[in-house]
């Protein structure tokens, strides 16, 4: 049977980073297994085409169970199924989150994860177009750039927010997060710069790295409570491969807990009900699912906004606290872009623009569990979106603010009729109905294998699975709480830090 020093499961935002860093040592062998195919679909490389990737063959295309607080709708849960994972199908926004996010992780019992601890790992990956400073690096593999040709609508959004008194912030990843300004993106030379492009392509000829696509891992192999290998399905045949040092699970917030449970690590009662032999009873596996809830305000545009192929769906943004406290950590994130991000049932116009608002700090906690012992079966996803009425009221206020921004004179020459929610949706009751009828997540799922030392933690601060040897989880599922913003950049950081933690053991 073939042996590797490390087996990395999932070539996504974290897995590609780990594979790159571990194979820097030519004596270290790494097998990288990816369930999806190579990232050859043309739309992947075209930033403006990212919405065309949703639900395609490069997306797992999961759905939640009927959501009780969203009128029993099943919510689409996008996850990349391709080299680069979700970094190959997302909106490419580079948002690190708020320093408080990481200080809070440390306060929860995770030493080494404070904002000062993780900043060097953000900088390590980054090739910042604007140059190096205290917050940014230029020697990394990952391109972080301004848009080549932003549309005029994004500047008008910035103008409108400043007219309402919000401070201009040129860098959401710098000294402070609050304020209005342009987003930066993982785009290079006008093309998407996924972790596959940034971290795998440059090392694809390393003889100590083996990458297998179309490989669905069906279970982890154990001797006692030590991970010794994996079993995977490839081209209709089952294969087993052994590991000398560690298995690194980087399959994401849905599939990492799914694979742990399929392999006997999880809540014993749940596993036994499905006839799965329990290796370790860890009740936190699959719990603590968190995501950002999003609603949209969409207007017709009176003219062509000339949306360039090198752009993305959210060009400019605003971070603020819902109660107007400038010193508080932002709990709302706004996006403005020259596209029509419409809920189902609304008719698009020839041209339009969208303001999307995301609730960054919300009270709902969901879960992931097994539907059956069949590895090909989809996981059971329960988001519990908007179970808190206070969260709904924050979104009501956010829609009102978005409308206020779009009604500012900065938009006068571009603003047509409001498509969604629509001019007739005015009072709070109608806005609440709109939110529960159309609210979704922004596909920012995290937290289901959370890091910590409490009874519901799955991994320790070194990302080792509790009470198991030779197994770590390295992806967004280890976040104990969701970050303030898009979680792709934090997931890349997790991959960087994990690689160093693994090397220390060596």
For the annotated catalytic residues, the residue numbers are 444
Is there a contact between 160 and 173 (Cβ–Cβ < 8 Å)? Answer: no
Separation of first and last alpha carbons in the chain: 23
- HSE, side-chain direction, 13 A CA sphere, residue 172: 32
Is there a contact between 2 and 210 (Cβ–Cβ < 8 Å)? Answer: no
Give Cα separations from 268 to 285, 295, 350, 448, 467 (angstroms).
10, 38, 54, 16, 14
Q: What distance in Å separates the CA atoms of residue 88 and residue 140, rounded to the nearest whole number?
A: 19
Tokens representing 52 are 């065309």
Q: What distance in Å separates the CA atoms of residue 46 and residue 472, rounded to the nearest whole number?
A: 34
Collapsing DSSP to helix, strand or coil, 247 comes out as strand
Nearest to 54 by CA among 495, 380, 441: 441
Cα dihedral 366, 356, 492, 310 in deg (nearest 10): 150
Q: What distance in Å separates the CA atoms of residue 471 and residue 355, rounded to the nearest whole number?
A: 42
Is there a contact between 167 and 180 (Cβ–Cβ < 8 Å)? Answer: yes
Question: Is the alpha carbon torsion for 321, 324, 326, 328 positive or negative?
Answer: negative
Is there a contact between 414 and 353 (Cβ–Cβ < 8 Å)? Answer: yes
Gyration radius from the chain CA atoms: 22
What is the three-state SS of 169-234?
A: CCCCCCCCCCEEEECCECEECCEECCHHHHHHHHHCCCCCEEEEECEEEEEEEEECCEEEEEEEEE
Q: Hunting for tokens 């995501």 — which residue is that?
A: 291
Residues forming beta bridges with residue 221, ordered by sequence position: 229
Question: Is the alpha carbon torsion for 203, 21, 98, 139 positive or negative?
Answer: negative
Question: Is the alpha carbon torsion for 7, 8, 11, 16 positive or negative?
Answer: negative
Q: What distance in Å separates the CA atoms of residue 50 and residue 40, rounded to the nearest whole number?
A: 14
Is there a contact between 349 and 222 (Cβ–Cβ < 8 Å)? Answer: no
Collapsing DSSP to helix, strand or coil, 497 comes out as helix
What is the separation of C-alpha 38 from the centre of its chain, rounded to a whole number of angstroms? 20
């Amino acid at each position: 049977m073939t042996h590797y020093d490390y087996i990395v499961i999932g070539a996504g935002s974290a897995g590609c980073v780990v594979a790159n860093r571990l194979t820097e040592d030519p004596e270290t062998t790494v097998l990288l297994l990816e369930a999806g195919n190579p990232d050859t679909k043309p739309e992947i490389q075209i930033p403006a085409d990212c919405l065309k990737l949703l639900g395609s063959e490069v997306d797992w295309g999961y759905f939640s169970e009927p959501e009780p607080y969203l009128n029993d709708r099943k919510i689409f849960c996008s996850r990349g199924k391709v080299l680069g994972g979700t970094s190959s199908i997302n909106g490419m926004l580079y948002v690190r989150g708020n320093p408080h996010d990481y200080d809070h992780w440390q306060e929860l019992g995770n030493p080494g994860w404070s904002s000062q601890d993780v900043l060097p790992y953000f900088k390590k990956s980054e090739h910042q177009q604007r140059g190096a400073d205290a917050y940014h690096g230029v020697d990394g593999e990952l391109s972080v750039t301004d848009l080549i040709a932003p549309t005029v609508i994004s500047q008008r959004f910035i103008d409108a927010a400043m007219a309402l008194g919000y401070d201009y912030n040129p860098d959401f990843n710098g000294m402070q997060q609050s304020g209005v300004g342009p987003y930066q993106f993982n785009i290079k030379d006008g093309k998407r710069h996924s972790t596959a492009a940034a971290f795998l392509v440059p090392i694809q000829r390393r003889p100590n790295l083996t990458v297998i696509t179309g490989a669905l891992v069906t279970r982890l192999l154990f001797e006692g409570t030590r991970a010794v290998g994996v079993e995977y399905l490839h081209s209709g045949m089952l294969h087993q491969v052994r590991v000398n040092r560690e298995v690194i699970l980087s399959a994401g917030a849905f599939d990492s807990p799914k694979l742990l449970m399929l392999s006997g690590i999880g809540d014993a009662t749940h596993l036994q009900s499905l006839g799965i032999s329990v290796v370790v009873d860890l009740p936190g596996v699959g719990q603590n699912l968190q995501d950002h809830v999003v609603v949209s305000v969409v207007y017709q545009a009176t003219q062509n906004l000339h949306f360039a192929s090198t752009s993305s769906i959210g060009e400019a943004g605003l971070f603020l606290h819902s109660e107007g406290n400038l010193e508080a950590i932002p709990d709302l994130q706004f996006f403005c872009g020259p596209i029509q991000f419409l809920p189902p049932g609304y008719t698009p116009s020839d041209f339009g623009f969208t303001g999307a608002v995301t609730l960054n700090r919300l009270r709902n906690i969901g879960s992931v569990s097994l539907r059956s012992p069949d590895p090909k079966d989809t996981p059971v996803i329960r988001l519990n979106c908007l179970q808190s009425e206070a969260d709904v009221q924050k979104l009501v206020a956010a829609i009102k603010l978005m409308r206020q921004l779009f009604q500012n004179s900065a938009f006068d020459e571009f603003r047509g009729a409001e498509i969604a929610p629509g001019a007739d949706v005015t009072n709070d009751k109608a806005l609440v109905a709109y939110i529960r009828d159309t609210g979704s997540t922004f596909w920012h799922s995290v937290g289901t294998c959370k890091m910590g030392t409490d009874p519901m933690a799955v991994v320790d601060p070194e990302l080792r699975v509790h009470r198991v040897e030779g197994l770590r989880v390295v992806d967004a599922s280890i976040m104990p709480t969701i970050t303030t913003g898009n979680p792709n950049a934090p997931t890349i950081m997790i991959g960087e830090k994990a690689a160093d933690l693994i090397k220390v053991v060596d």
